[in-house]
Structure formats: C-alpha cells, structure tokens
Amino acid sequence: MYESAHFISSKTLSGFDGFPMPESYPDYPARPLVLDYIRAFADEYAIRSSVEYRVVVRHATPTSDGTWNVELDNGDRRQYRGVIAAVGHNWDPILPEYPGSFAGDAYHSVRYRSPSEFDGKRVLIVGGGNSACDIACDAATRARRTVISLRRGYHFLPKHVFGKPTDAFFRSGPHLSPKIAQPLLTGLLKLLVGDLRRFGLPAPDHRVLESHPIMNTQILHYLAHGDATARPDVVRLDGRRVHFRDGTAEELDLIIWATGYRPTIPFLDAALPSRNGPGPDLFGALIPALPNLYVLGHFESDGGAYPLVSKQAEVVAMLAQSDATAPEATRKWVARLTSSRRPDLTGGVRYVRSIRHENYAQFETYESYLSRLIRQIRSDLLKGKSPKTSGEAPAALPSIRATHHH
C-alpha cells in the first residue's frame, strides 16, 4: 500500500459490524490508522493465534465427499471440511499493451510506494481510478513533470459536501432511486466541481454513479495550477517518447500503469478451470456447485467494503455451523439458493462494461440482500438446530488462514 493512501469511504461508514472506527479518527483515515484499526480488531477477537504466517496455498481441490484437499508451498497436504478464500480483490495487476516500446522505467501501481520515486523525473500515470489520481497528486509535488492519461472521462466527487463526508451526507436522507439520484447528483457536481473539460479532462462518457466513484478533487487542484497535465489515451511508445490520441507526445522517464486488476484466486484454478476469476459467477459468498467453498471480499462497491465483508462473514459462519449439525439440509438449501437466478445487486444503476464492474454491487442494495440472506439462514437452518439437540458437538471447521504472497 502506498504511503499516501487514505480511505475513500468515511470512518463512520467503513468499520466492521460491531466494531466502529474510533471517534478520534479523521473523516478519511490514512493507511497507518487503518492498519492500526485492523490490528485492534484482530486483537479484540484473538485472531492472531489462529494465523499461520508466510505460508502460500498452492492448490485447493474438492473431493467427492465434499471435503477439500489443500496443498501448501512447504509440501504439506491437508484435508479440510471447508475453504474460505479471502485473498483480496486488487492484487493481480493488468498491464496494458501498446505498439512500440518504452526506454524508461515502467511498472504497475501495485508496486508503487513513495512520492520519492518521482524525484526529478518526468512521470506519466496511466489510468483514471482513485489510485491513479492519488499517485498523480504525489507526482505533482515531487516530479519534474507530471502527466496523467485517461482513456475515458470520469465524474470526480469531493470528499465533503456541505461540511459532511460525502457518503455520510448522501446516506443521511431517504434512499433515492437512480432516476432521481443521478440527475440531482449531476446538478450538484456542476455547482461544486464545474465543467471538467476546463482542466484538460475528457467529458464523462457515462452518467454519474455508473462507474466506481472517483473521490478525489485534489487532482483538479494540481491540474488547475499547472502542476499536472491531462492527456487522452496512449497510442504508441517510442523510446522515451509517448504518443497520445490527441496527437501530442511527451518525453518521459517513468510510467506508472494504474490500469486495474484481475479478480483472481489462483489456488482455485483446478476447481474452477473455466473461469477468469469468479466474476459474475460469484453468488453472495458462495460459488455454485462447489460445497463448502466460500469467497469473502471478492467484489467491488460504491461504499465501504468492511460492512459488507462483515455480513458475508456472518453468512459463512452460519452456513458452516449449520453444515456441522445438519449437512444434508444445509447443502440442499445452498443448492437451491445458488441455482436460482443471480440477484440484481445494481440498485437500478447501469454500470459501465469493464472487468472492474463484472462483480460490482451498489452498497445499500448488497447490504440489504446480505441482511435478508442472514435472516433467512437463521430462520430456515439454525432455528432449533443447536449442537445440544443433535446429541453431539459440531465438527470443527478447520480453515487455512495463511498469508498469500503475490
């Protein structure tokens, strides 16, 4: 994680369920504070003692009896009743291809750490997401020249609206349908931000809310002051010279590819050979047709991830508990759930077509869906099925909890 990273959802709407971020935190906590928060959560629930560090899971494959064989990089082979895949969504970088070659240094933003990497250099950041804008802001303060290249136009949202964090402001009132919310927000952005073309940026090619929100107007400050320059998409590389779609070219020393990530779970390749990441096949925290496999956090949303991951984890915990006491009923219930039509989690928003938005969910819609799912599981599977009534204690759910080195 790069040094200047901050949350783009506010502290009040970003905590794990039942474990809010401290009141002393600023509206948008920086990387060290978020790390402190995660460690405090781990200590509160005594998680560290259950973690195996520096162990790589190479393969996880299902068996005919519903268990899983797991192979580790140290040669260990283990059998587990279930596997929870929680490797994260943004770590397997997508590197674009352009005609020609670049003679300077170039690497993906996943490798970027510090603004000192830009000292005295002519820098190009390729991409228009939040990381790209953050990194371009870092470069604007240290680089000899800073250029940001965007393939399409985006809507830039301020982090505060009328003195409140933006997410808290919009969620403090009644929930509005996209037909009402989109034109209202478009009008508000015209007042607060104005015409983006005056900063050299392309006009957005989609309506507001139809792509992941760019919570960064600091980049507009640097563009307005000439500390950064916007260019359209790259068309050709020629030594140190990079050519852009508008016919301009720049002499550069360093390119940062802030071009996104593939949704990858490498140790499940053998179990899911036909997929390119779980993508649209992911159903809540379940994978259809694969019993006792759960996937946490493998989605993107327009709100904080931790509240949604908390509910995914609750779904997994209840299903694991139910499977230990009533496996046949649980698996029939899960089969019915995953064989039905995938729920619409867009909240009525038509997201742009991209890899990033294949498994994208509107925050309130997904939160409501997971809450209903939790109530349904509790009602249908857990009610009256405690270990005491079954005559024996439920089997433990062993799980791989390993640091996965990427």
What are the CA-CA distances from residue 393 to residues 128, 385, 390 (Å)?
53, 11, 8
Burial (CB < 10 A; 0-12, 13-18, 19+), residue 173, is: exposed
HEC profile of 342-363: CCCCCCCCCCCCCCCCCCEECH
51-91+264-390 and 95-259 agree in CATH topology: yes
Query: Phi and psi (nearest 5°) for 236?
Result: -160, 145
Question: What's the topology of domain 51-91+264-390?
Answer: FAD/NAD(P)-binding domain (3.50.50)
pTM score of the predicted model: 0.88
Give the pLDDT of residue 283.
Answer: 59
Kindly list the domain boundaries of the chain, sorted by start residue: 51-91+264-390, 95-259
What are the CA-CA distances from residue 238 to residues 66, 125, 229, 382 (Å)?
54, 17, 20, 63
Question: What's the topology of domain 95-259?
Answer: FAD/NAD(P)-binding domain (3.50.50)
392 pLDDT tier (thresholds 50, 70, 90): very low
Higher pLDDT, 390 or 4: 4
Give the tens place of pLDDT for each residue, 124-169.
Answer: 999 999 999 999 999 999 999 999 999 999 999 999 999 999 999 8
Asked if 294 and 316 touch (Cβ cutoff 8 Å), the reply is yes
Q: If residue 304 lies in a helix (H) or strand (E), which one and from where to where?
A: none
Q: How far apart are the C-alpha atoms of 165 and 158, rounded to whole Å?
A: 9
Q: Which residues contact 124 (CB under 8 A, 6 or more apart)?
A: 147, 148, 149, 242, 250, 252, 254, 255, 256
Give the tens place of pLDDT for each residue, 160-187.
Answer: 999 999 999 888 877 777 778 888 888 9
Site of tokens 């401290």: 22
